[in-house]
Amino acid sequence: MTVTIDVPPSQPAEVVRPEGDPGGADTLAEALHTASGRYEEFSDETARIQWIGGWYGDAADAYREATAEAGEEHAAMARTVERVGRAVTAYADTLRDLLRTYEEQVDRKEALDARRSALIADINAATEATPDVVAALRERATELRDDYAELVTDHDDLQRRVREAEDLLRQSFQAGTSLDRALADDGGVPQSAQDALSRRGAPGSEATPEQVHDWWLGLSEAEREAVVSSYPELIGSADGLPASVRDDANRVVLDDDLATLGSKRDDGTLSPTEERVLANAEQARQALEDADAFEDPITGERPGGLLHLYDPGAFDGDGRVAIGVGDLDTADDVAIFTPGITTTMDDTTSYTGQMINLYEATRYNGDGSSVATLFWLGYDAPDAFYDPATATEGRAEDGGRRLADMVDGLRASRPDDPAHLTAIGHSYGSTTTSYAAGDFDLAADDVVLIGSPGAGPADHADDFSVGADNVYVGRDSRDIVAVLGDEGWVGKGPVGLGTDPSSDDFGATRFEAEDVDRADIRNWGDAHSSYLHHDSESLYNIGLIVDGHGDRVNVAEHSYDPWYDFARDPEWDREPSSGVQGESRTRENRMVP
């Protein structure tokens, strides 16, 4: 009896490699960014030499008129070549992704071909074709056919994405080539991107985060690529879009800044303002490299960094930035950290390091859920202790609104898969977080205030959107900033920024947060800045809260104010620990048994 087993052919015949070289494309993008910087310099310089000292009369008037015209046109040229440069940067990034997918498909095909060869060998070797043997061989053939079919589908998808990426870049070049297009307001922007942005719900049209999310879902993959490469600043700050999309867009702008301003520095044409922007960009780049290189302590894999917000020229050069560790789009537990006074983009690498600590601690003591942590400097933090803005709550109120909006955006980007979300505020950032939760309906699950000078508008934890049971407070008894808030029936006058949230009247859960190296007196050194240090009580407890287990924190007694004396802190005399399991260990620590 003859038995037929239908072995599928090897498919696709060839996994076609996407053409092009990302590194070479980056080089071309850099050249275009350099050209953009020079056109910009041309425009800026014409503004400077439009008025030549001591020269007046008809000739001088005519000169100024001609100069102004040249300046405007060169500014338009700078914007167009910048857009095309960004399109090339985005193409290089996309090409890298496509090449990774290609390599994966090559590996898959090799594995499938090996299975196919083994199947053929087993068929040829079968001397006794019992029904069971035949059924097993047929089942293997069927599975192989299905897997080949899946590979063919994925390969078709890869080739489609390759064509779309190439089409988009070609259209970008064409949209900026003729002089008319080069001088146009939308020079270098392909029609597909313009069409996509004109649809209802697009960012920048005062759409809600939910509408922006729906707008994004309605775009084709090609349109998505087009708007990311053509409008990266807009997409990079659009609440409601997936964090990975914002990251792609912001990295395009970051690369642009580094290349354009870097070449202006080489040309010696960098202004003081641009110098600050470049320094901020370099901070962001370093922080991203740190986040990208970080390895999860449990899996050993790299969860990756995210540039969630990037606006290096904002707030008079202090900059706005948000850098994440982990995948904000999928993480089970998300923590958003808001820093306090004196924080600028100069501090980005330092705070990103603390976000890595928080991620690590949460995973180390966690229940296995996935985690993402985000350093969010989306508001204008006061510049110094003596900055008049520090003594008022205006910046905190504005920041609270911005924080609540950003969280709304995160929520809208994951409507069917909400994360457990913890908002953490430090120092003045705790007052900012209090405004978000007290006045702007912060859509978090838990709130953590550390080193807090006061809870802003909230007199009681019940005033927060998350409810009193989900408000946690960490205060080192030596932290001088954290005793500024009002406490007891007398209060402390205008020095604080609302009620002390660690006091018994406030009604939050206070957790242990003493620094093992604490001094004998109150200070704003380590006592105020070590809440996210490894192997500290504070980081241990915050990690548990971020992981969704606030009920397991090591509770500390509240401070209280006896009517006859100053406020008392029961934590003052407690001996703190460091690196002790169940109290303060936050990572594998070879120094501690």
Query: Which spans of this chain sit near other proteins (rule: CB under 8 A)?
Result: 18-25, 27-28, 31, 34-35, 38-39, 41-42, 45-46, 48-49, 52-60, 63, 66-67, 70, 74, 77, 81, 84, 91, 162, 166-167, 169-170, 173-174, 176-179, 182, 267, 269
Choice between 20 and 317, CB closer to other proteins: 20
Other beta carbons within 10 angstroms of residue 553's beta carbon come to 22
Least distance between other proteins and beta carbon 159 (Å)? 12
- φ, ψ (nearest 5 deg) of residue 500: -70, 115
Question: Which stretch of DSSP H or E encloses residue 309?
Answer: strand 305-311
User: CA angle, 329 as apex, 327 and 332 as ends, to 5°?
Assistant: 75
- Give the CA diameter of the chain: 109
Q: Tokens 């969010």 appear where?
A: 376
For residue 63, give the amino acid letter: Y
d(Cα 379, Cα 435) in Å, to the nearest integer? Answer: 13
Choice between 57 and 131, CB closer to other proteins: 57
Choice between 16 and 592, CB closer to other proteins: 16
Least distance between other proteins and beta carbon 188 (Å)? 9
| 460's tokens | 């009681």
With H, G, I as helix, E, B as strand and everything else as coil, classify residue 464: coil
Q: Which residues of 43-53 are buried (b: 16+ CB within 10 A; e: fewer)?
A: bbebeeeeeee
Choice between 54 and 368, CB closer to other proteins: 54
Asked whether the bond before 12 is cis by omega within 30 degrees of 0, the reply is yes
Other beta carbons within 10 angstroms of residue 299's beta carbon come to 10
Asked whether the bond before 312 is cis by omega within 30 degrees of 0, the reply is no
48 Cα distance to chain centroid? 38
d(Cα 342, Cα 357) in Å, to the nearest integer? Answer: 21
Least distance between other proteins and beta carbon 196 (Å)? 21
Least distance between other proteins and beta carbon 411 (Å)? 39
Question: Which stretch of DSSP H or E encloses residue 265?
Answer: helix 243-267
Least distance between other proteins and beta carbon 181 (Å)? 10
Strands 371-377 and 446-450: unpaired
Choice between 18 and 498, CB closer to other proteins: 18
Least distance between other proteins and beta carbon 415 (Å)? 37
Choice between 162 and 358, CB closer to other proteins: 162
With H, G, I as helix, E, B as strand and everything else as coil, classify residue 130: coil
Least distance between other proteins and beta carbon 49 (Å)? 5
Instruction: Write the CA distances from 295 to 18, 188, 290, 300, integer angstroms.
Output: 30, 39, 10, 5
| 566's tokens | 């100053």
Choice between 42 and 315, CB closer to other proteins: 42
| 134's tokens | 């035949």
- φ, ψ (nearest 5 deg) of residue 399: -65, -35
With H, G, I as helix, E, B as strand and everything else as coil, classify residue 518: coil
d(Cα 577, Cα 129) in Å, to the nearest integer? Answer: 70
Least distance between other proteins and beta carbon 60 (Å)? 8
Choice between 74 and 402, CB closer to other proteins: 74
Least distance between other proteins and beta carbon 263 (Å)? 10
Choice between 84 and 252, CB closer to other proteins: 84
Choice between 23 and 593, CB closer to other proteins: 23
Choice between 153 and 178, CB closer to other proteins: 178
- Closest by Cα among 78, 144, 63 to 111: 144
Q: Tokens 């204008």 appear where?
A: 380
Choice between 26 and 347, CB closer to other proteins: 26
Q: What is the dihedral of CA 223, 226, 227, 233, to 10 degrees?
A: 160
Residues in the chain: 593
User: CA angle, 464 as apex, 461 and 466 as ends, to 5°?
Assistant: 105
Least distance between other proteins and beta carbon 67 (Å)? 7
Instruction: Write the CA distances from 247 to 41, 215, 231, 242, 315, integer angstroms.
Output: 29, 18, 13, 9, 21
- φ, ψ (nearest 5 deg) of residue 298: -90, -50
Least distance between other proteins and beta carbon 236 (Å)? 24
Which one-letter DSSP state was computed for residue 415?
Answer: T
Question: Which stretch of DSSP H or E encloses residue 335?
Answer: strand 333-338
Choice between 170 and 200, CB closer to other proteins: 170
Q: Tokens 């899996």 appear where?
A: 299
Least distance between other proteins and beta carbon 172 (Å)? 8
d(Cα 533, Cα 526) in Å, to the nearest integer? Answer: 10
Choice between 183 and 389, CB closer to other proteins: 183
Which one-letter DSSP state was computed for residue 478?
Answer: T
Choice between 168 and 374, CB closer to other proteins: 168
